[in-house]
Amino acid sequence: MISLKQLRYARAVGKTLHFKKAADECNVSPSALSTALSELELQLGLKVFERDTKKVLVTPSGKLVLERAEKILTDVEDLQAIASLNSAPLTAPMSVGFIPTIAPFLLPHLLAELNQKHPEFSLHVTEEQSHVVVEKVRSGELDAAILALPYPCDGLLTFEFWKEDFYWIARKDNKLAKLSEIKSTSMEESKLMLLKEGHCLKDHILDACHLTKRNSEHGFSATSLTTLVQMVAGGLGTTLVPAMALPQLISQNPDLAAVHLNEPGPHRTIALIMRPNYTRISSIEALKEIAANALIRLDNGQSM
């Protein structure tokens, strides 16, 4: 069978028209190169080179062979370049899922850093609830996902990179709004508004506050934290949000106060999940590090 090594040797001889120079270029002995090319000619059933002690010529048939060899070697080198590209972190495109209680708050800072440090990287974002992104990662529809733990991720690898607490949000005219800390027992459960079923943040809040779904049910719920906070501003009740949401949701509303939830924490953990056999682990590690740095700056009130 014709080998790539034989084609590389033939290309070198065709370029230099000199067996010794070609052998030096290929880092082999002249005899090894000559033997390999003789085997190539035998396998092809034609002469590629005319050679004597003084010169080397390419035969008419040999020119056709060298043209095809060049194309084959170029295609192989292109394949090797693609493999190298995929092995380097954040060079090949990635599809990553985000849950709604993370995406609006992390993405602006994450994308800013990616654009600055990896401008050629292409990130495809999907925003869905936890059960959807987990299944999409399992099926291969997504390369990875960023979500909040605890959450069932059986069969997937999880890489934790951030931990945070919850803050109770109320109007400043609420008598408890001046506190620096609040226990879950001090909050009026009847006025506590949470996200609808299906959002893992609701379960995390219930766990942190030692509440059951039954005694937290009332007439007010929403599908986004932005809507919940607007409902609080309108005097409909109070809510709880994760720390990463405070700068975006609370800082622009002077009528609202944020009080740290004084319950054992951290109240939720942010992690990146992936399939065990996913090949671009270097990109996962790089993305995790950049996401963590983005949250550190967000926590410190910095921007890109």
Summarize the confidence of residues 137-154 as an average pLDDT. 94
* CATH entry 3.40.1390.10 includes domain 94-163+268-299: no
pLDDT recorded at residue 82: 67
pLDDT recorded at residue 153: 95
Q: In this structure, are residues 260 and 180 in contact, taking their beta carbons and an 8 Å threshold?
A: yes
The tens digit of pLDDT for each residue in 231-260 reads 999 999 999 999 999 999 988 889 999 999
pLDDT recorded at residue 280: 83
- The burial of 105, by beta-carbon neighbours within 10 Å (0-12 exposed, 13-18 middle, 19 or more buried), is given as buried
Q: Which residue has the higher pLDDT, 10 or 303?
A: 10
Summarize the confidence of residues 266-270 as an average pLDDT. 97
Taking the domain 4-87, which CATH number applies?
1.10.10.10
Q: At residue 142, does pLDDT exceed 70?
A: yes
The fraction of the chain above a pLDDT of 70, given in percent, is 94
Q: Which residue has the higher pLDDT, 275 or 79?
A: 275
pLDDT recorded at residue 217: 52
The tens digit of pLDDT for each residue in 37-46 reads 999 999 999 9
- Boundaries of CATH 3.40.190.10 in the chain? 94-163+268-299, 166-261
The tens digit of pLDDT for each residue in 190-203 reads 789 999 888 999 99
pLDDT recorded at residue 85: 56
Q: In this structure, are residues 129 and 200 in contact, taking their beta carbons and an 8 Å threshold?
A: yes
Q: In this structure, are residues 144 and 285 in contact, taking their beta carbons and an 8 Å threshold?
A: no
Confidence of residue 86 (pLDDT cuts 50, 70, 90): low
The tens digit of pLDDT for each residue in 110-125 reads 999 999 999 989 999 9
CA separation, residue 259 to residues 51, 180, 188 (Å): 88, 6, 14
Confidence of residue 304 (pLDDT cuts 50, 70, 90): very low
Which positions ≥6 away from 136 have C-beta within 8 Å? Answer: 97, 126, 128, 142, 145
Q: What's the mean per-residue pLDDT of the chain?
A: 90
* CATH entry 3.40.190.10 includes domain 166-261: yes
- Boundaries of CATH 1.10.10.10 in the chain? 4-87
Strands 221-222 and 181-182: unpaired
The tens digit of pLDDT for each residue in 67-84 reads 999 999 888 877 776 665
The tens digit of pLDDT for each residue in 148-196 reads 999 999 999 999 999 999 999 999 999 999 999 999 999 877 789 999 8
pLDDT recorded at residue 215: 47
Handedness of CA 219, 221, 226, 227 (dihedral sign): negative
